């Protein structure tokens, strides 16, 4: 009797342990969620490979699961999924089907919109305009078939995983990049002649440098010496720059103080130039007569280092105060020194 009871206890313990293990497996791998959840729907043009109970992730963290995948009346795939109620879903949120691994398993990723928006209500719909399907691995593989033929299976798998990680969800960016590369190569092809001339000229320049490598070496050596000297005198150069800054400040102060006087001088100089310009004819006559006057002055001082003045003529002017002044006749000397 005791043996039967012991066997029964063992069976019960085994059953309890098995039930706990089964419950753990169901919870861990069956995407079982406890607590309050919210349901949403996302519309996709193509939701191939996405199945019920697949993960729903935000920023790489599993926060829910796919409940069902159906086709609507508008031929769009309607993916209903549930999330923890504490995970916010905005009205501008986007959905994308991602590859979980190379076995074809997928998951639904939720992305935040470009701008913050109010939260999407429970039961809300993310339209197809804000969702993206997964990339087609068959099309991707066929495009890289020539490359894959020269690789080992492990290398092919590694390359495929890298391509999925890089290209997944980046179709627009890749198309833009390929378009820009095509434009660049087209431009290079159109300017093939110019590029050829540049290469030819560059070859000539390199040939000249090679022919004068000794001079180039000397130039580099002297440049190194110059740079080393500047580095050695960096303290003096720095102090000179500081003094130059001080000098600039002093000059600026001087110019600021002298500005009114300079402005007045410029103004008067403008008046003077106008007067000179108005009397230019008379000045030209004076300038033409100056050489003769200089010769007479030279003759007057020819005898010694000084000028000798002689009284060569006298004329008396009387001003009685009433009427015109009275002028006497000029009394002139006839000496040779008074003859000009």
- The domain limits of the chain are 1-30, 35-134, 139-187
The answer to whether the predicted template modeling score (pTM) of the entire model surpasses 0.75 is no
Alpha-carbon 298 to chain mean position: 75
Residue 72's contacts (CB-CB under 8 Å, 6 or more residues apart) are 43, 78
- pLDDT of residue 1 exceeding 60, the answer is no
- Average pLDDT rounded to a whole number, residues 114-140: 78
CA 282 to chain CA mean position, Å: 66
- What number is the average pLDDT over the span 228-248? 85
Distances (CA, A) of 317 to 84, 213, 308, 327, 334: 127, 93, 25, 5, 22
Quickly state the pLDDT bin for 53 (edges 50, 70, 90): confident
CB hemisphere CA count around 318 (13 angstroms): 5
| pLDDT for residue 286 | 80
Q: How confident is the model at residue 265 (pLDDT cuts 50, 70, 90)?
A: confident
Q: What is the pLDDT of residue 36?
A: 76
Q: Worst-scoring range by mean pLDDT, 43-47, 196-200, 309-313, 325-329?
A: 309-313
What's the pLDDT at 339? 66
> What pLDDT does residue 167 have?
59
Residue 127, pLDDT above cutoff 80: yes
pLDDT in tens, 274-311: 888 888 888 888 888 888 777 776 666 666 556 666 77
Query: How much is the pLDDT for 166?
Result: 60
Per-residue pLDDT for 31 more than 60? no
pLDDT of residue 173: 58
List the one residue out of 98, 59, 60 whose CA is nearest residue 79: 98
pLDDT, residue 30, reads 53
Q: What is the pLDDT of residues 184-198, one digit of tens each?
A: 677 667 777 877 888
**pLDDT tens, position by position, 69-96:** 888 888 888 888 888 888 888 888 888 8
Q: What is the mean pLDDT of the chain?
A: 77
How buried is 91 (Cβ within 10 angstroms: 0-12 exposed, 13-18 middle, 19+ buried)? middle
pLDDT at 25: 60
For residue 135, what is the DSSP state? P
> What average pLDDT does this structure show over 89-107?
80
Asked whether residue 34 carries a pLDDT value surpassing 60, the answer given is no
Query: Which is higher by pLDDT, 276 or 1?
Result: 276
User: Would you give the distance in Å from CA 8 to the centre of its chain?
Assistant: 79
Q: Which residues contact 93 (CB under 8 A, 6 or more apart)?
A: 110, 111, 112, 113, 120, 126, 130
Tens-digit pLDDT profile for residues 56-66: 888 878 888 88
Mean pLDDT (whole number) for 218-237? 87
Instruction: List the beta bridge partners of residue 313.
Output: 332
Show Cβ contacts of residue 95 under 8 Å, excluding neighbours closer than 6 positions. 42, 44, 79, 108, 109, 110, 111, 126, 130, 131, 132
What's the CA dihedral at 207, 208, 214, 220 to 10 degrees? -100
Q: What is the DSSP letter of 90?
A: B
Helix extents (H) in the chain: 2-29, 137-143, 145-148, 153-167, 171-190, 192-211, 213-232, 234-278, 280-300
């Amino acid at each position: 009797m005791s043996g039967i009871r012991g066997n029964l206890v063992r069976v019960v313990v085994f059953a309890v342990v098995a039930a706990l293990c089964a419950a753990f497996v169901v919870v861990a791998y069956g995407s079982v969620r406890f607590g309050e959840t919210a349901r949403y729907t996302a519309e996709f043009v193509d939701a191939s490979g996405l199945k019920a109970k697949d993960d729903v992730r935000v920023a790489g963290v599993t926060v829910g699961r796919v409940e069902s995948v159906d086709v609507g009346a508008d031929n769009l795939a309607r993916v209903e999924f549930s999330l923890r109620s504490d995970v916010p879903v905005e009205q501008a949120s986007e959905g994308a089907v991602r590859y979980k691994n190379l076995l074809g398993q997928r998951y639904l990723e939720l992305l935040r919109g470009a701008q913050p928006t109010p939260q999407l209500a429970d039961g809300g719909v993310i339209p197809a305009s804000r969702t993206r399907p997964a990339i087609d691995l068959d099309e991707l593989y066929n495009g890289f078939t020539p490359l894959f033929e020269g690789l080992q299976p492990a290398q092919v798998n590694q390359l495929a995983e890298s391509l999925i990680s890089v290209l997944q969800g980046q179709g627009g960016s890749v198309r833009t990049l390929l378009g820009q590369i095509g434009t660049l190569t087209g431009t290079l092809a159109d300017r093939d002649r110019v590029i050829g001339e540049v290469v030819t000229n560059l070859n000539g320049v390199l040939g000249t440098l090679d022919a004068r490598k000794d001079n180039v070496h000397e130039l580099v050596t002297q440049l190194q010496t110059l740079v080393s000297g500047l580095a050695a005198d960096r303290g003096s150069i720095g102090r000179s720059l500081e003094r130059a800054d001080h000098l600039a400040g002093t000059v600026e102060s001087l110019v600021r103080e002298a500005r009114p006087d300079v402005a007045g001088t410029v103004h008067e100089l403008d008046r003077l130039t106008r007067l000179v310009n108005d009397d230019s004819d008379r000045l030209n006559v004076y300038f033409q007569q100056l050489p003769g006057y200089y010769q007479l002055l030279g003759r007057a001082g020819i005898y010694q280092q000084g000028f000798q003045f002689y009284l060569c003529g006298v004329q008396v002017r009387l001003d009685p105060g009433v009427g015109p002044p009275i002028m006497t006749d000029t009394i002139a000397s006839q000496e040779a020194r008074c003859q000009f």
